[in-house]
Amino acid sequence: MIKKFIDKLIAGASGRKPRFGKRQEVGPDQHGIDPTLVDDRALSVVHALKEAGFEAYIVGGAVRDLLLGLRPKDFDVATNATPEEVKAQFRRAFIIGRRFRIVHVVFGRGREHEVIEVSTFRAYLEAAQAEAVNGNERTSKAELAGMHHAVDASGRVLRDNVWGPQEEDAARRDFTINAMYYDPETRIVVDYHGGIADAKKRLLRMIGDPPTRYREDPVRIIRAVRFAAKLAGLGFKFDPKTRTPLHPSLPLLAEVPQSRLFDEMLKLLQTGHSLATIEQLKHLGMASGIYPLLDLVVERAEQPFVRAALQDTDRRVNEDKPVAPSFLLACVLWADVRDGWAQRIAHKEHPFPALQNAIDEVFDARIGDISGRGRLGSDMREIWMMQPRFEKRSGHTPFSLAEQPRFRAGFDFMRLRADVGEVDVTLADWWQEFSQASDAVREDLVEALRDEMHRQRRTRAPRKRGEEGAAEAPEPRERTPRAAEGAAAPAEAGDGEAPRKRRRRRRKPAGQGAGAPSEGSGTGPAE
């Protein structure tokens, strides 16, 4: 009688028992994983936890990539140690998250640091509730007390910090190809749901009942699209039962916090497959309805400027170069800013405040309070506000602009505008040369431009009435850049013109100008 009651409780909304699967241990002769593809830091985390008496495995997408012969970009570790026990094993480890507590083990410092994410085996929620009825000792009193608040009326999981055995942890993961565990020391892959077979068949299949799993966490809808886009190039396709409920489940995303949807949108666009993701969304009939800003990206993906930005982002990610969401979003929303700016200038507003007001209007209309007022919004604003300054290349303006912290991103933005014909390409070329030059050569570039503008003004000057023809403008004196001769060539004797006085600046070695963009710097520095 008790067993029937527990089985009924476990069945949950789907009307079926959770599929814990049967444990299979697959050796290196069968799975063929190359151990040299495993990151040394992930290996050290696994080793330290096992030395302390815990189970520890590389898990998730890293195992999938290893099976496919790819070098994973990120490594996650799963263990039966609690977050507090994991933290105690490492000098630089931090517990993060509330709904889903994990540990970040940090290696290195600054921008070069690497993070290994360590999670504790989670219990399959309905199984944990059933075991609570039976008095399971593994689950704490606090966890038991909160279980009835862990799922809302629609079946969405609100909290997921109930620890359990590995078989339940595998059952609560989303796709079979992400539910495998690899021990890099014994080189054994533990597989409960046929992930190895699905990887060989190139099949993207949800564990358990797909509609129920999408209700548990609607973000799985977005993750399914992301994985499909990422793996499409390797021949992966959806299992029909996994694909069919995707579009009907879209309304579930209305219950997800906007900040989480914003983060998931950035993942879709910054994993190196943004164009493939957009095509996948269209193919699935999900081009709209996930998140308003993502809808706009899909809508504008065919515009030359936005498409160039998406292509550049994909290229940089695949070359292991940093990308910044502020740059990509600035490209997507530039048409709104540019048009609003033009309208204000047409109404006689001063250009500088007109641009500021246009930016504020775009933030209010397109981004709101999610991230538009934080650092991301600040960086976007700087990129946009730099654009008119690139037109001013006289006096001290070029020198001060090149020293701005976001100059690289602003320049790359202007370069993309030039690539699609919105800005004269000679302007982008001039700034490219200026940004990479020494201070002495920079001064020569600015002076040469001033001389050129002066000649153009003299050539265009109207002739005096009654003159039979104006004399041709004299040819400019030949100048030798300081970078080559150390000083400008002296004026010819008797030419009646004294050499111009130049400002003295602290010189920098050639090629180390402030803020110089690297070749093909694309999206600028990472956030």
Give the closest residue to 316 by CA, choosing from 526, 515, 517, 61: 526
Give the C-alpha distances (Å, rounded to integers) separating 265 from 204, 262, 297, 319: 21, 5, 10, 21
β-bridge partners, 78: 57, 119
Give the closest residue to 43 by CA, choosing from 61, 62, 28, 29: 62
What is the C-alpha separation between 212 and 445, in angstroms, rounded? 65
Cα diameter, the chain: 117
Give the closest residue to 252 by CA, choosing from 279, 283, 213: 213
What is the C-alpha separation between 527 and 448, in angstroms, rounded? 36
Q: Please give the full DSSP string across 321-383, using - where no structure is assigned.
A: ----HHHHHHHHHHHHHHHHHHHHHHTT--HHHHHHHHHHHHIIIIITTSSTTSHHHHHHHHH
Tokens of 35: 């151990």
Q: At what angle do helices 219-232 and 258-269 cross, to 10 degrees?
A: 0
Which of 174, 379, 412, 439 does the annotation list as catalytic? 174
What is the C-alpha separation between 363 and 330, in angstroms, rounded? 11
Output DSSP code: residue 126: H
Is 495 among the residues known to form the active site? Answer: no
**Which residues make Cβ contacts (< 8 Å) with residue 258, sequence separation at least 6?**
291, 368, 370
Query: Amino acid identity, residue 423?
Result: V
What is the C-alpha separation between 220 and 206, in angstroms, rounded? 10
Which of 76, 217, 312, 444 does the annotation list as catalytic? 76
Long-range contacts of 228-235 (CB under 8 A, 24+ apart): 228/204, 228/280, 229/268, 229/273, 229/276, 229/277, 229/279, 229/280, 230/271, 230/272, 230/273, 230/276, 231/202, 231/204, 232/273, 232/276, 232/280, 233/273, 233/276, 234/68, 234/202, 235/202
Q: Phi then psi for 467, rounded to 5 degrees?
A: -75, 140
Is 312 among the residues known to form the active site? Answer: no
Is 451 among the residues known to form the active site? Answer: no
- Identify whether the C-beta of residue 480 lies closer than 8 Å to the C-beta of residue 519: no
Tokens of 106: 């940090």
Query: Amino acid identity, residue 276?
Result: A
Q: Please give the full DSSP string across 3-38, using - where no structure is assigned.
A: HHHHHHHHHGGGTS-------EEE-HHHH---GGGS
Residues carrying an active site annotation: 74, 76, 174
